[in-house]
Homo-oligomer: A and B are copies of this chain.
Amino acid sequence: MLNITVWNENRHEQNNPKVRDIYPNGIHGAIAGFLQDEGLKTRTATLDEEAHGLSEQVLQETDVLIWWGHLAHDEVDDLIVENIKKRVLEGMGLIVLHSGHHSKIFRSLMGTTCDLKWREADETERVWVVDPSHPIVEGIGEYIELEKEEMYGEHFDIPAPDQLVFLSWFEGGEVFRSGCTYQRGQGKIFYFRPGHETYPTYHQPDVQRIIQNAVQWVAPIERPAPVYGNAQPIEHIKVKQQD
């Protein structure tokens, strides 16, 4: 049974009545809700909790971490970011949503600025499937349509994804690599673009299905960690060790 932790900055919900109306339990509450509906064991954590709700024990018990942040990336403690990164490299799955592209944890795992273009203009977004074989698109049609969303546009300053799953189209003339997978250490990462706080994106069934699929896809596998450092040669090969 997977243990999911849904992390949310949870600031827009405090400051903006429009966001609170759409997500009365917070973005974290909405996401945790539809995951629990699928029988997943889910907890939430937010920025203003002690250790941002991500103590070493919580991280140790977490199989998949979902991340939504925007206004306060800088307030996330560097030490906790290091702990998260360590856990990802050990195998914990990570799903980074929307404006989480600029989070410390995502930038640290990518090695790039993760900069992009954006525009808040109530544009229609079409999220096209480009890899119809990928488990993350199970149960989805050729594309999903979001009537109004914030635009994110290329160039998106990320490493070339291991797998490009979705591409977004926006009314105003931009495209975006909106579903990207990465392997880092023993961990699997999925970045998924949609989810601006002023739109009910996470209430849309297709979006929920994609996140549910992604939880399964990034989930850790059972295996012993690789051993690093000084190594012995294969027994029957005579290799001269130095003194």
Residues of chain A at the chain B interface (Cβ within 8 Å): 85, 89, 91, 108-113, 115-124, 126, 128-135, 137-142, 145, 151, 153-157, 159-160, 162-164, 167-175, 177, 182-188, 220-234, 236-237, 239-242
Contact = CB atoms under 8 A, between A and B. Distances in A.
A139 to B, nearest CB: 6
B133 A155 contact: no
A232 B155 CA distance: 14
A23 to B, nearest CB: 19
Contacts of A91: 133
Contacts of A227: 117, 142
A118 to B, nearest CB: 6
Specify which of A170, A173, A174 lies most central, judged by the most chain B CB atoms within 10 Å of its CB.
A173
Contact of A221 (B110, B137, B223): B137
Contacts of A145: 234
Contacts of A122: 239-240, 242
16 contacts: A108-B111, A113-B185, A115-B229, A122-B242, A126-B174, A132-B225, A133-B220, A134-B183, A141-B223, A142-B227, A160-B162, A160-B183, A169-B169, A171-B239, A172-B231, A172-B239
Contact of A121 (B113, B121, B134, B240): B240
Copies in the assembly, this chain: 4
A122 B240 CA distance: 7
Contacts of A151: 231, 233
Contact of A133 (B126, B142, B167, B183): B183
Contacts of A119: 230-233, 239, 241
Nearest to A117: B231
Given A183-B160, A233-B172, A128 B142 contact: no
Contacts of A162: 159-160, 162-163
Specify which of A118, A153, A226, A230 lies most central, judged by the most chain B CB atoms within 10 Å of its CB.
A226
Contacts of A223: 132, 137-141
Contacts of A228: 113, 115-117, 155, 157
Contacts of A138: 221-223
